[in-house]
Amino acid sequence: MIRGLYHRDTVGWLIAAAVLPVLAATVVEQGVPALERMGLTLVVVLVWQAVFLWVRAQPASATALVTAIAVGVLAPGDFAVWQIVLAVSFGTVIGEQIFGGWGRNIINVGVATLAFLYFAFPETLHEGAGPLVAAACIPGALLLLATGILAPAVLLASAVGAGVVTLGLDQNPVELVVNGSLVFGLVFLVCDPVASAATRGGRWVFGLLAGGLIALFAFADAGSDVPHAVVFAALLASLFAPLIDAAVIALSSSLRRRRHG
Amino acid sequence: MRIVARRGLTVSLAGAPIQEVGADPVASHVGVMGADYPVMRTELLVEEGQSVEPGTALFRDRNRPRIVVTSPVFGEVEQISIGHRRRLSALTIALGEDSGGEPIRFPPGQAATPAGLRTFLLESGLWPALRTRPFERIPDPDGVADALFITAIDTAPHAPDPRIVLADRAEDFARGVEALTLLTEGPLFVCQDSGPALLEGLPERVSLVRFAGAHPAGLVGTHIARLRPVDGQGTVWHIGYQDVAALGRALASGKLDPVRTIAISGPGLRSARLVRAPLGVDLHGLLRSEITAGAKRIISGPILSGRESRYLARYHQQVTVLDRVEPRRRHWLLGALRQAAAPAPFIPTQALEQSFGPNLPLVPLLRALSIEDAQTCERLGCKALAEEDLALASYASGGSTDFGARLRAVLDRIEEPA
Give pLDDT tens digits for B153-207: 999 999 999 999 999 899 999 999 999 999 999 999 999 999 888 888 888 899 9
CB neighbourhood size of A234 (10 A): 31
pLDDT, residue B281, reads 93
CB B37 within 8 A of CB B138: yes
Give contacts of B 352-411 with A, CB under 8 A: 352-354, 359, 361, 363-364, 367, 379-381, 394-400
- Interchain CB distance below 8 Å, B297 and A149: no
| B238 shares its domain with B264 | no
Residues of B in contact with A53 (CB under 8 A): 336-337, 340
Q: Which residues of chain A neighbour B337 with C-beta distances below 8 Å?
A: 53, 59-60
Does A1 fall in a domain? no
A8 CB neighbours in chain B (<8 A) are 344-347, 398, 400
Contact B91, B31 (CB under 8 A): yes
Q: Structural domain of residue A157, as residue ranges?
A: 8-259
Model confidence at A260, pLDDT cuts 50, 70, 90, reads low
Domain boundary among B234, B253, B272: B253
pLDDT confidence of residue B399: 80
Q: Is residue B348 part of a domain?
A: yes
Give the alpha-carbon dihedral of A139, A143, A146, A147, to 10 degrees: 180
Determine contact, residues B244/B381, Cβ cutoff 8 Å: no
Task: Give me the count of residues in chain B.
Answer: 418
The pairing of beta strand B318-323 with beta strand B259-265: parallel
Number of domains in chain B: 3
Could you give the CA distance from residue B239 to residue B315 in angstroms, rounded to a whole number?
9
pLDDT at A26 over 70: yes
Q: Which of B253, B274, B297 is the last residue of a domain?
A: B253
Is residue B121 assigned to a domain?
Answer: yes
For residue B18, CA distances in Å to A64, B2, B13, B380 come to 47, 27, 14, 40
In a domain, B55, yes or no: yes
Within this chain, do residues B147 and B232 fall inside the same structural domain, yes or no? yes
B361/A198 touch (CB, cutoff 8 Å), yes or no = yes
- Residue that terminates a domain, selected from B253, B283, B308: B253
Mark yes or no for CB contact B351/A149 under 8 Å. Answer: yes
The chain B residue lying nearest A201, using CA atoms, is B361
Identity of residue B45: L
Q: Which residues contact B140 (CB under 8 A, 6 or more apart)?
A: B64
Does residue B403 form part of some domain? yes
Average pLDDT over residues A120-148: 89
| pLDDT number for residue A130 | 84
Contact: A4, B340; criterion CB under 8 Å: no
Q: What share of chain A is helix, strand, coil (3-state, %, to 5)?
A: 75, 0, 25
Handedness of CA A188, A189, A190, A195 (dihedral sign): positive
Tell me: do B245 and B151 sit in the same domain. Answer: yes
Question: Strand (E) positions, B5-101?
Answer: 18-21, 29-33, 42-44, 51-52, 57-61, 68-70, 75-82, 88-95
pLDDT value at residue A261: 56
Number of domains in chain A: 1
Cα–Cα distance, B125 to B223 (Å, whole number): 26
pTM of the entire structure? 0.90
Is B283 part of any domain?
A: yes
Contact of A107 with A95, CB cutoff 8 Å: yes
Averaged pLDDT, B60-81: 92
> Tell me, what's the pLDDT at B418?
57
pLDDT in tens, B240-265: 999 999 999 999 988 888 899 999 99
Q: Chain A window 69-108: which residues touch B at a Cβ cutoff of 8 Å?
A: 100-104
Closest CA to B395 of B319, B306, B308, B317: B306
pLDDT attached to residue B244? 94
Confidence of residue B417 (pLDDT cuts 50, 70, 90): low
User: Are residues B138 and B31 part of one domain?
Assistant: yes
Flag the least confident range among A173-177, B96-100, B175-179, B234-238. B96-100
Percent of chain A with pLDDT over 90: 66
Residues within 8 A of A (CB atoms), B 276-335 only: 297, 299, 303-304, 306-308, 320, 322
Q: Does A223 touch chain B (CB under 8 A)?
A: no
Domain annotation covers residue A215: yes
Report the gap between the CA of B40 and the closest CA in chain A (Å): 26
CATH number at residue B277: 3.10.20
Least confident piece of the model among A159-168, B15-24, B260-269: B15-24
- Give me the total of CB pairs closer than 8 Å, taking one residue from chain A and one from chain B: 126
| Pair (B76, B218) in one structural domain | yes
Residue burial B297-307, b: 16+ Cβ < 10 Å; e: rest: ebbbbbbbbbe
- Say whether residue A258 is in contact with chain B using an 8 A CB cutoff: no
When pLDDT is cut at 50, 70 and 90, the band that residue B128 belongs to is very high
- Which secondary-structure segment (H or E) carries B377? helix B374-379
In whole angstroms, give the CA distance from residue B11 to residue B303: 9
Question: A2 lies in a domain?
Answer: no
Residue A224: predicted pLDDT: 63
Which of A6, A106, A260 is the best substitution to test chain B (most B C-beta atoms within 10 A)? A6
Both B60 and B139 in one domain: the answer is yes
Among the listed residues A56, A33, A35, A60, the one whose alpha carbon sits nearest the alpha carbon of residue A46? A60
Give a yes or no: residue B335 inside a domain. Answer: no
Q: Is B151 helix (H, G, I), strand (E, B) or coil?
A: strand
Residue A144 pLDDT more than 70? yes
Residue type for B259, please?
V
Cα distance between residue A15 and residue B319, in whole Å: 36
Instruction: Tell me whether residues A8 and B363 touch, CB distance under 8 A.
Output: no
Does residue B197 belong to the interface with chain A, where contact is any CB pair within 8 Å?
no
Residues B173, B44, single domain; the answer is yes
Distances (CA, A) of B410 to A17, B146, B395, B396: 38, 24, 20, 21
Query: Across the interface, do B364 and A199 touch by the CB < 8 Å criterion?
Result: yes
A3 is a domain residue? no
At residue B188, the 3 state secondary structure works out as strand
B191 backbone dihedrals φ, ψ, rounded to 5°: -100, 125
pLDDT at A3 over 70: no
The terminus-to-terminus CA distance of chain B in angstroms comes to 37
- B176 and B319 in a single domain? The answer is no
CA distance B352 to A4: 11
Question: Where are the alpha helices (H) located in A96-225, listed in sequence order?
Answer: 109-120, 131-146, 152-168, 174-177, 180-184, 200-215
Residues B239 and B296 in one domain: no
Q: Does B293 share its domain with B379?
A: no
List all residues of chain B from 214 to 233 with a beta carbon under 8 Å from chain A: 228-229, 231-232
Asked whether the CA dihedral B220, B222, B227, B230 is positive or negative, the reply is positive
**B44 secondary structure, DSSP code:** E
A174 falls within a domain: yes
Same domain, B264 and B363: no
Among candidates B299, B333, B296, B340, which has minimal Cα distance to B316? Answer: B299
B17 assigned to some structural domain: no
Contact B198, B166 (CB under 8 A): yes
Q: Identify which of A57, A103, A257 has the shortest CB distance to residue B347.
A: A103
The DSSP code for B259 is: E
Q: Burial level of B54, CB count in 10 A (0-12/13-18/19+)?
A: buried
Q: Which domain holds residue B316?
A: 259-323
Going by C-alpha positions, the residue among B225, B400, B96, B177 that lies closest to residue A3 is: B400
Asked if the model's pLDDT at residue A223 lies above 80, the reply is: no
Spatial distance between the Cα atoms of B232 and B144, rounded to a whole number of angstroms: 16
Asked whether the beta carbons of residue B397 and residue A4 sit closer than 8 angstroms, the reply is yes
Amino acid residing at A139? P
B350 or A5, greater pLDDT: B350
A202 → chain B, closest CA residue: B361
Pair (B8, B116) in one structural domain: yes
Q: Please, what is the average pLDDT of chain B?
A: 89
Q: What is the mean pLDDT of residues B29-54?
A: 90
